[in-house]
Amino acid sequence: MKSKKKSPTRILKAVLVNAELIITSLIVLIPVIWIVMSSFHKGTGLTGSSLIPKHLTLQNYVRLFQETDYMIWFRNSLSIAVLNAVVSVILILITAWVVSRFQFKGRKSGLMAMLILSMFPSFLSMTAIYTLFITFGLNKSPLSLVLVYSAGAIPYNVWLVKGYLDGVPTSLDEAAYIDGSSKINTFLKIIIPMAKPIIVYCAVAQFMAPWMDYILPNLLFTGTNTKTIAVGLYAMITGNENSYFTTFAAGAVLIAIPITILYLLFQKYLVEGIAAGANKG
């Protein structure tokens, strides 16, 4: 009883569904193709840019490296991102481990305090951070942003990782303690391997976050050598649509490609991390 014969409604459905998917894909792709093509477009301005330029050139990329400080911005952003990922993960993981595995006075109120702190949008305290940075001379190197980023990441992420560790049975670490393993050793040998997925999430999220943060670096660092990618690109395009648009496109494409690839590679971890964050364990 093979009724593989396609009924008209079935065909109509298939056509409609596929048509919708194709249209949505096009809407998603067109801005992407447009900016990639613009980066190869001959000319400097926004006017005359099109989806399919007549002449392709690498001139914009050359200009990006010769006329702007793109390399400096990139180096600054990269070093902030790497350092932030390392520092944040260490601090978050240790804190989460202690609150998850040890009972001590002030633990509950500390966790509650962190929960409330994590609900305060971090950049609203920028005036204080600005004054603090100037008072302590931290506005010389963009790396000091890591202090703000990693501290800001602690409240939310400690809850996240704590929730994860709470779900991991304690029998393994207890067995290790019975065998005479020290606390630190147990942490390194047992907790870290078990928490790998959530560590990957935190590391990737903390690596990604600084790249496109505009507000703090723009406020704190005014020198040319201390600009980050986000600040540099924003300044390049704002008000200069007709003299720097294609150079901006080249810069945007260059930075978007590696980050997009990283995102796609770590998709699984990021999705899990976001879901866990919403449910907090």
Residues 65-104 that bind another protein (CB under 8 A): 91, 94-95, 98-99, 102, 104
- Considering the complex, what minimum distance in angstroms separates the CB of residue 129 from another protein? 5
Q: Residue 238 CB, nearest distance to another protein (Å)? A: 9
Q: HSE on the CB side for 280, CA within 13 Å?
A: 9
Interface of this chain with another protein, residues 149 to 168, rule: CB under 8 A: 150-152, 154-155, 159, 163, 166
- Whole-angstrom Cα distance, residue 54 to residue 5? 48
For the chain, the 3-state helix, strand and coil shares in percent, each to the nearest 5, are: 80, 0, 20
DSSP 210-276: GGG--HHHHHH--SGGG--HHHHHHHHHTT-HHHHHHHHHHHHHHHHHHHHHHHHHTHHHHHHHHHH
Per the CB < 8 A criterion, the answer to whether 273 and 205 are in contact is: yes
80 or 255, CB closer to another protein?
Answer: 255
With binding defined as CB under 8 A, does residue 132 bind another protein?
yes
Radius of gyration, CA atoms only, the chain: 25
Task: Candidates 60-68, 78-86, 121-129, 196-204: pick the segment binding another protein (CB under 8 A).
Answer: 121-129
CA dist 216 and 148 (Å) reads 9
Judged by CB under 8 A, the residue of 131, 170, 225, 243 near another protein is 131
Which listed residue (107, 140, 189, 196) binds another protein by CB under 8 A?
A: 107
> Is 17 among the residues that bind another protein (CB under 8 A)?
yes
Q: CB under 8 A: which stretch of 58-66, 172-180, 198-206, 239-247 binds another protein?
A: 239-247
Q: Please, which of residues 184-213 interact with another protein by CB under 8 A?
A: 208, 211-212
Contact segment (CB under 8 A) with another protein among 14-22, 56-64, 65-73, 173-181 equals 14-22
- Compute the distance between CA of residue 123 and CA of residue 103 in angstroms, rounded to an integer: 33
213-232 residues in contact with another protein (CB under 8 A) are 214-215, 219, 230
